[in-house]
Chain A
Amino acid sequence: MPPPPARRLLAPVALALFAIGWYVFSAVYIDGANRAVFASGDFAVYVSMDQMRAYLSTAAVLCYITVFSALLIFWYNVVQYARYMESSSNG
């Protein structure tokens, strides 16, 4: 039996990092850019504080859910990998 491909372990980690990165990017840069367009008086593209707060809080919840799901998949695959290593060393 061939070993499980490395992507089975790496992809969930990449997904978790993406989710965290997206939230941090949103809180730092998107919110910052929104304040900048407000300061420049460009209300055509400005997003109200109410909507921005809702966006950030939803992004935070989604970040938690995605990271939790990704880690669940990661640990499942770690167990599968350990089982493979165990069976190949016994066999």
Chain B
Amino acid sequence: MEPSSILQPISSYGYDVVFAVFALSGFVLGWVAQRGNYCFVSSMTSIFTTKSYERFGGLLLLFGLSALLPGALVAVGVVPAVDQYHFNFFAGWYVVLGAYVFGLGAALAGGCNLSMLYRASSGYVQNWLELFGMMVGTYVFAVLIWPPEFYTMEKGILSTTAGGFVEYLPYVLFHSVSAAAIGAAAVLLGVPFVLLGLLLQGMTRRKWAQVAQPVAVQRLALQGPALHVPGPLPSPRFRFSLADARDRILLRKPYGVNLATAILALDMVLVFAVGAGYTFNYLVITSSDGGRFFEYLLFPFGVNLATDTPWYSTQLSIVDTSTLMVVMLCVGAFMASFLSGDFKIRIPKQRRRLAVGFFGGILVGIGVRMALGCNIGLLWTSFAQLGYDGLLFLPAMLAGVYTAVRIQGRWLL
């Protein structure tokens, strides 16, 4: 017997609560991402430029926690399994190619779909142009790429012909959606990512300590005779202290990578549980709403893409819980940057960065729509869904980011 495909809300609170909680989670996402300077693309570029794995390790921790926590909620029966796999998308060539184009465009433009929004809200003009470029790219995708892509999805050409439980790892691995199968799949997917994330962060911290130690000794020697031999430098690992907590609450200090990671993982769990049975119960940022906002921009001119344009007329509902999530993400990021004193309209000195931002944004729009989601709505979400799209998306995005780093090094710097 096939697993159920009927969504089951875990409570009957209605759409008012769902919209409100999604808006709140968007606000939290914007606030925390801004305070933690959380960017998927820069965490990947730092691998290729400074050989630092601190932020990329945090990203892997996020993926691992996002597999383990929602997986645990489903395994213990708090959330029905159908609410975890119902929105698993199709998988195919388009995920790999789209992720590559997205990684390339986002690294050129200077921000992933999350950082683009919080930086745009913090006054970065380059990211305004990236956002507009993404809207244009979404339209280009809808008209030119979606019809042939949909054809391959229908015919199963290098593509699955269904999503849902077909792509649910417990079903793929154990042909079951029982609690034991879900728990085992969550552990199999989540634990390696957590361990690898911690390992990579540890490697980078040890490297920093080795580099920083001689510098500190040298500084002491320049300042005068040392009273004592300095011990090992404190590692940047998160340590709780009341003074630190106070400084972070009062916006005097940014959030560390792992603190931001932990809050974002909990934010995902909140949306996963509250949205279950009602809507796409994951964090979803701009990949759909980039297209939606372009559609909105045209409404005052009497143009409604939803009535006659491919993709817009079949795939994009007029409004969604993610709409308020994205709007409140921008409000949260703005509030965080303004109250901390970071907010400032920033126009890059090199004007060509604006053109690169717009062009990169077009690639982002094409890439995320081709892949059926962005780094949030597909990559990160796929781990919380216990799907495998993220495992296709991640290496392809890394390859795109690497290509952009090479292009920037050769022609743009």
Contacts between chains A and B (CB distance < 8 A), count? 87
Contact A33 B299, CB 8 Å, known A15-B334, A45-B313: yes
Contact sample, A vs B, 10 pairs, CB 8 Å cutoff: A11-B338, A36-B307, A45-B314, A47-B317, A50-B15, A55-B323, A58-B20, A62-B23, A62-B327, A69-B335
Q: Chain A residues near B299 (CB, 8 Å)?
A: 25, 29-30, 32-33
B14 interface residue per 8 A CB criterion = yes
Q: Is the CB of B23 within 8 A of A54?
A: no
Pick the contact of A33: B315, B318, B331, B345 (CB < 8 A): B318
Closest-by-CB residue of A relative to B334 is A15
B19 within 8 A of A: yes
Q: Which residues of B contact A57 (CB under 8 A)?
A: 16
The verdict on A61 contacting chain B, using a C-beta distance below 8 Å, is yes
Question: What's the Cα separation between A30 and B295 when bound, in Å?
Answer: 10
> In the complex, given contacts A29-B296, A44-B314, A51-B15, what are 20 additional A-B residue pairs having Cβ atoms less than 8 angstroms apart?
A7-B343, A7-B344, A11-B338, A19-B331, A22-B327, A30-B299, A33-B306, A36-B307, A45-B312, A45-B316, A47-B317, A47-B319, A47-B320, A54-B18, A55-B324, A58-B19, A58-B324, A59-B324, A62-B23, A62-B328
Instruction: State in angstroms the CA–CA spacing of A55 and B344 once bound together.
Output: 31
B35 → A minimal CB distance (Å): 17
Residues of B within 8 A of A19 (CB): 331
CB-contacts of A25-77 with B (<8 A) = 25-26, 29-30, 32-34, 36-37, 40, 42, 44-47, 50-52, 54-55, 57-59, 61-62, 66, 69, 73
Q: Which B residues lie within 8 Å of A51 (CB)?
A: 15, 319
**Knowing A45-B317, A58-B324 touch, does A73 contact B307 (C-beta < 8 A)?**
no
Residues of B within 8 Å of A69, CB to CB, are: 335
Whether the pair A30, B19 counts as a contact (CB closer than 8 A) is no
Query: Using a CB-CB cutoff of 8 Å, which residues 309-361 of chain B contact chain A?
Result: 312-320, 323-324, 327-328, 331, 334-335, 338-339, 343-345
- B300 close to A (CB within 8 Å): yes
Interface residues, chain A, with chain B CB atoms under 8 Å away: 7, 11-12, 15, 19, 22, 25-26, 29-30, 32-34, 36-37, 40, 42, 44-47, 50-52, 54-55, 57-59, 61-62, 66, 69, 73
Rounded to whole angstroms, the CA-CA distance of A41 and B250 in the bound complex is 52
Contact residues in A for B43 (Cβ distance below 8 Å): none
Give the chain B neighbours of A54 by CB distance below 8 A: 14-16, 18-19
Shortest CB distance A46–B (Å):
7
**Complex Cα gap A46–B313 (Å):** 9
**Complex alpha-carbon distance, A36 and B53, angstroms:** 50
B338 x A55 contact (CB < 8 A):
no
Given contacts A30-B318, A37-B318, A66-B331, contact A42 B306 (CB under 8 A): yes
* A69→B299 CA distance, assembly (Å): 29
The answer to whether B176 has its CB under 8 Å from any CB of chain A is no
B311 to nearest A CB, angstroms? Answer: 10
Inter-chain contact B306/A45, CB cutoff 8 Å: yes
Shortest B241–chain A CB gap in Å is 29
Asked if B161 CB lies within 8 Å of chain A CBs, one says: no
- Whether A34 and B318, one on each chain, are in contact in the complex, defined by CB atoms closer than 8 angstroms, is yes
A73 to B307, CA, bound (A): 42
B113 to chain A minimum Cβ distance, whole angstroms, is: 20
B152 contacts chain A at the CB level, 8 A cutoff: no
Distance, CA A36 to CA B314, complexed state (A): 14
CA distance A29 to B409 in the complex (A): 45
A59: which B residues are within 8 A, CB to CB? Answer: 324
A84–B227 Cα distance when bound, in Å, is 45
Inter-chain contacts of B178 with A (CB < 8 A) = none
Q: Please tell me if B304 contacts chain A, counting CB pairs below 8 Å.
A: yes
Q: Are B313 and A15 in contact (CB under 8 A)?
A: no
Chain B residues with CB under 8 Å of A15's CB are 331, 334
Most buried by B among A42, A46, A47, A52: A42
Q: List chain B residues, Cβ under 8 A from A46.
A: 317-318
Q: Please measure, in the bound complex, the distance between the C-alpha atom of A58 and the C-alpha atom of B327, giving whole angstroms.
A: 12
